[in-house]
Amino acid sequence: MNSTMFPADKWEDLRSDHLIETAELAERIVANDPLLRIVDMRGSVVTALIAEGVQTAQYLGTPEAYAASHIVGAVYLDWTRDITDELDLVPIQAAPPEKLKRILEAAGIGDDSLIVAYDAHPASQFATRLWWLLRLYGNENVRVLNGGWKKWIAENHPTTSDMTEHSTAIFTPRIQPEWRMTAEQILADTDRVLIDARDADQYTGRIRRGSRGGHIPGAKHLPREAFFAPDGTFRAPTELSQIAEQNGTDPTKRTVAYCNGGVAGTSILFALSMLGYSQLTNYDGSWNEWAERDDLPVEL
């Protein structure tokens, strides 16, 4: 089965619609592209074993890293606060439209901006989280920096500690509900492909976060790292296609990704989107919600 809705000769076009390479970004910075808005999404998930087989996780932004050094012209968004719904009982859920509008407009990010997101994560999951959130709100003019901060630094591209300010912009959220799914929708939709992006120990229940371990029944295991080369860049399109196909994805069906907090799963969605998959959804509540609800089934 061809693992994409698009022929292979379209993969490079799709890739350039999703990724920006370090050399191109450097050129745009030098050219002082007036539409360019670079967003530093660096953050971390700090885990600890508190008992045998039981793990905790702390979600952190890293504004101090941005203050010390960042890509010239970049603004900083904290993935734990700026783009989340602080009123939701489930941690780090997507920010509601009115909040995202306020945050992005204040950062100078508007409807006409070319948004470039980067982070320092080996699977670019904080940058892809912003990509997904913008897709959820109808903005497709966003790219992820291939290789992120690590590649930018390795190639000695310019950095600065100067804070960046842009004039206020106008951002218009246009929600695309198909990009986000609830637990109830997952239970009701029996014809979807469900992808668990967490590591193997969490998938099998050997390590658990929250009240219960294991995975959502029927979920296929595809850790986000599978789509990345050792240097932190996305693998070539043919490799992405093979990995997707070998792990049971189906471009004719809706693909729903999840993880612990709806962040790592966006790396999966991003990679599949580069292959032309058109029915992509994030279970935003992910295991943070599923594990705590006794009315939801678990499989080991």
List, for residues 162-177, the tens digit of each pLDDT value: 999 999 999 999 999 9
In the chain, pLDDT over 70 holds for what percent of residues? 98
Burial of 52 (0-12, 13-18, 19+ CB in 10 A): exposed
Short-list 113, 139, 134, 93, CA closest to 38: 113
Q: Predicted confidence band at 3 (pLDDT cuts at 50, 70, 90)?
A: very low
Mean pLDDT of 7-25: 92
Output the average pLDDT for the chain.
96
Task: Report pLDDT digits (tens) over 235-255.
Answer: 999 999 999 999 999 999 999
**In this structure, are residues 29 and 72 in contact, taking their beta carbons and an 8 Å threshold?**
yes
Domains of the chain in start order, with CATH, are 8-176 (3.40.250.10), 178-290 (3.40.250.10)
Q: Which letter does DSSP use for residue 147 in this model?
A: T
Which 3 state secondary structure label does DSSP give 75?
strand
Amino acid at 42: R
**In this structure, are residues 80 and 61 in contact, taking their beta carbons and an 8 Å threshold?**
yes
Lowest mean pLDDT of 2-6, 139-143, 280-284, name the range: 2-6
The answer, yes or no, to whether residue 6 has pLDDT greater than 90, is no
Q: How far apart are CA 67 and CA 76, in angstroms?
A: 9
Residue 5 is predicted with a pLDDT of: 58
Short-list 85, 151, 140, CA closest to 280: 140
Mean pLDDT of 198-203: 97
Task: Report pLDDT digits (tens) over 256-287.
Answer: 999 999 999 999 999 999 999 999 999 999 99
Reported as type and span, the H/E element at residue 195 is strand 193-196
The answer, yes or no, to whether residue 230 has pLDDT greater than 60, is yes
Residue 2 is predicted with a pLDDT of: 41
**In this structure, are residues 76 and 164 in contact, taking their beta carbons and an 8 Å threshold?**
no
Mean pLDDT of 117-133: 98
What distance lies between CA 59 and its chain's CA centroid? 15
The answer, yes or no, to whether residue 226 has pLDDT greater than 60, is yes
* Residue whose structure tokens are 């006794």: 294
Mean pLDDT of 177-200: 97
